[in-house]
Chain A
Amino acid sequence: MQTTTDEALIARIAGGDRLAMQVLFARHHVRVYRFVLRLVRNEATAEDLISDVFLDIWRQAGKFEGRSAVTTWMLGIARFKALSALRRRQEDELDDETAERIEDQSDDPETALSKKDTGAVLRECLTKLTAEHREVIDLVYYHEKSVEEVAEITGIPAATVKTRMFYARKKLSELLKQQGVERGWP
């Protein structure tokens, strides 16, 4: 039973309440970590980043105006930190070309399918999407964010969010097809 709302915790954190910070951290750090990890693909970096994310929450709690859900605000901070870390690392995210190289190294579609079930193939293809596509899929499916909330986190218009999700799914279908899973779409 969740008895103290995130908003109430943020108000207490704004007043310097460490216990409220511990509760907020305990409640959300795993999801924030997974969101960051899916973007930066490095566990040590993701772990460092979540400390930074929650430190920003500690510092900025007094400025939180409650216009969005606390989790939306947190994921927005987490995204900014993750992208900054990626820029610092100067590592290009997995683009289509890289994904194709990985596919070339893998088993042929029939062998791949015979080894795993469709769910496992789907999960593998989810990891091969670009960072942009992984992000929108995770926000919608795993973090249960609405169109408007994804728009706020990613800083793009709501219409673009829908289009990006559509193309992420389309790319996923193409990757599945290359792995021998024909979905009849697109």
Chain B
Amino acid sequence: MNAIEKEAPERDEIEELLPWHAAGTLSRRDAQRVEDALARDPELARRYTQVREELTETIHLNETLGAPSSRAMENLFAKIDAEPARTGAASRRSGVGFSGFLSGLTPRTLAWAASAAVLAILLQAGFITGVLLQQNPVGYQTASAPSTAPGVGAFTLIRFAPQASVDDINKFLQANKLSIVAGPIPGGVYKVKVADRALAKPAMSALVNKLGHDKVVGFIVTAQ
């Protein structure tokens, strides 16, 4: 058996992995195996080029399929509204006390509940601290210092684009002198301060319009 015949099974195995390598879904170990094989086997590298073409055109094909109409969502929520209310679990638990309630939860739900509780405590602590600091500012303040009270200024609600990286968002915030003051609220929306003083409606609209054109912004509206 010559060297090529010996390598054949491994080559077949590697070739089967090429589609996942192109899609970036292999484990680090398998990806390294494929990379090593591609570096030493020109024929395999040629076939990998074909795999990449297939991947590109599959994405292209799927992206041209369009999207469903709003009817799909309307139908879904009409069906959800027609579902019986989820009171069974709650009423069953209400009669057995807090320990019974806890024991009725799955470990996963319990873990989520615990995380939510910790988050709520931290938020509450942060809020209380914020209120105390606001009432009793530390350090000194000159009479002419600008107001930094959290409620003063102009604000927007922004949901960032899903593909925006943290780095992109940081650059966007810095470039436009913005600061996140709250969030995320459900739906991934943040309250963002866009000016230290309240802006007139036309100026605010223009600013919202300008910020809305940035690729990192999914949607933006004026906030109170």
Contact B68 A65 (CB under 8 A): no
| Bound complex: CA A2 to CA B190 (Å) | 12
Q: How far is the CB of B179 from chain A (nearest CB, A)?
A: 15
The 8 A CB mask of A76-105 against B (1 = contact, 0 = none) is 000000000000000000000000000000
Chain B, interface size category, equals: 35 or more
Tell me whether B133 is interfacial, beta carbon within 8 Å: no
Q: Which of B92-100, B161-169, B191-199, B206-214 contacts A (4 or more CB under 8 A)?
A: B161-169
Contact A1 B160 (CB under 8 A): yes
Interface residues, chain A, with chain B CB atoms under 8 Å away: 1-4, 8, 11, 14-16, 18-23, 25, 27, 29-30, 33-34, 37-38, 43, 46-48, 50-51, 54-55, 58-59, 65-66, 118-119, 122-123, 126-127, 137-138, 140-142, 144-147, 149, 162-163, 165-166, 169, 172-173, 183-185
With contacts defined as CB atoms under 8 Å apart, how many contacts are there between chain A and chain B in the complex? Answer: 143
Q: How far is the CB of A116 from chain B (nearest CB, A)?
A: 12
Contact B80 A4 (CB under 8 A): no
A residues less than 8 Å from B75 (CB atoms): 48, 51
| Bound complex: CA A59 to CA B19 (Å) | 35
Report 7 cross-chain contacts, Cβ distance below 8 Å, ordered by A residue.
A4-B188, A11-B109, A19-B186, A22-B77, A58-B83, A140-B19, A140-B20
B residues less than 8 Å from A163 (CB atoms): 16
The 7 lowest CB-CB distance pairs between A and B, nearest first, are A141-B58, A1-B160, A51-B75, A3-B184, A3-B188, A162-B16, A146-B25
B residues less than 8 Å from A127 (CB atoms): 61
